[in-house]
Amino acid sequence: MNRPPRFTIARDSIRGGVARLGGDEFHHLRDVMRLKAGARVALIDERGAEYRGVIRSFEARQAVIEVESEGAAARESRHAARTVALGAAIIKGPRMDFLVEKAAELGAAELWPIVSARAVALTPGREKIARWRRLVAAAAKQSLAAFPMEIRPPLGFADLIRIAPGDTLRVSCAIGGEPLGAVIRRTKPERILIVCGPEGDFDREEQAMAEQAGFVRVGLGPNRLRSETAALAALSIAAGALGELDGGI
């Protein structure tokens, strides 16, 4: 059965079983996809809850949608599935935007932007974080993700080490480490935090902190990868390994 087209909506735009979809999403629904009254659609809000409904009418700047069903908020049900969080050193310009978008498409549950010693990018401000969240919302819609990736506030490497949950498999990507897929298959974790450094990797002090805190050094293959490539490769490898575990392979 084909899934209906999906659009993002603010939760407060849904009242009394009726959703009013405006802005860019309204333009995409009416002018790009050319959906008509009677078409079935899916809506996803900022909590990750999905609503199914039918377009009833069009007004000047919004579509009126009758909501027929509502799924549980994804953030409330994440504990039921294996999850992967990505801690990525902040890199400059559009490369970080690319990393954010593709990490969301690959199913990361959270992104922890890291301010590391060797990073050359500035700590992102409110506007940059807002842009990343817009990219995440669009990526969740496009990829039919179960929930949109949560973007944590930027933090220093020492702070990440301090607050990283102890019941999580915590790994740091580095050339020469045990293959990430092998570590996941061996430990069978419910939650994973993957940490990737900037160009030139984390410095020695950061690497020592991670090792002392119990982070496992993992490898992604023999090639030297750029920061965003390493992060996305790690997510792909983790997804494949977790898929094998869930499938009983």
Question: Which domains does the chain possess?
Answer: 6-71 (2.40.240.20), 77-247 (3.40.1280.10)
pLDDT of 77 strictly over 50: no
Whether 55 and 49 have beta carbons less than 8 Å apart is answered as no
Q: Average pLDDT of 165-189?
A: 92
What pLDDT does residue 246 have? 79
Burial state string for 2-31 with b = 16 or more CB within 10 A and e = fewer than 16: eeeebbbbeeebbeeeebbbeeebbebbbe
Q: Which carries the bigger pLDDT value, residue 222 or residue 73?
A: 222
- Residue 58: beta bridge partners? 63
Q: What is the mean pLDDT of residues 47-65?
A: 90
Distance from the first to the final alpha carbon of the chain = 27
The burial of 180, by beta-carbon neighbours within 10 Å (0-12 exposed, 13-18 middle, 19 or more buried), is given as buried
Residue 207 has pLDDT above 70, yes or no: yes
3-state secondary structure of 196: strand
As a whole number, mean pLDDT of residues 142-169 equals 85
Distances (CA, A) of 100 to 111, 200, 217: 8, 20, 23
Q: For 90-241, where are the E strands, in sequence order?
A: 110-115, 150-151, 155-156, 169-179, 191-196, 216-219
- Predicted confidence (pLDDT) at residue 15 exceeds the cutoff of 60: yes
Element (DSSP H or E) covering residue 224: none
Q: What distance in Å separates the CA atoms of residue 78 and residue 128, rounded to the nearest whole number? A: 26
Instruction: Determine if the pTM surpasses 0.85.
Output: no
Q: Phi then psi for 135, rounded to 5 degrees? A: -65, -40
For residue 51, which of 84, 93, 10 has the smallest C-alpha distance?
A: 10
| Residues in CB range of 120: below 8 A, 6 or more apart | 91, 92, 198, 199
**In the predicted structure, residue 223 carries a pLDDT above the cut 80:** yes
Cα–Cα distance, 220 to 210 (Å, whole number): 18
pLDDT of the residue at 137 = 81
- The pLDDT > 70 percentage for the chain reads 92
Structure tokens at 169: 């498999």
Q: What ranges make up the beta strands (E) of 186-233? A: 191-196, 216-219
Angle between helices 227-247 and 180-187 (to 10 degrees): 30
Whether the per-residue pLDDT at 34 is higher than 70: the answer is yes
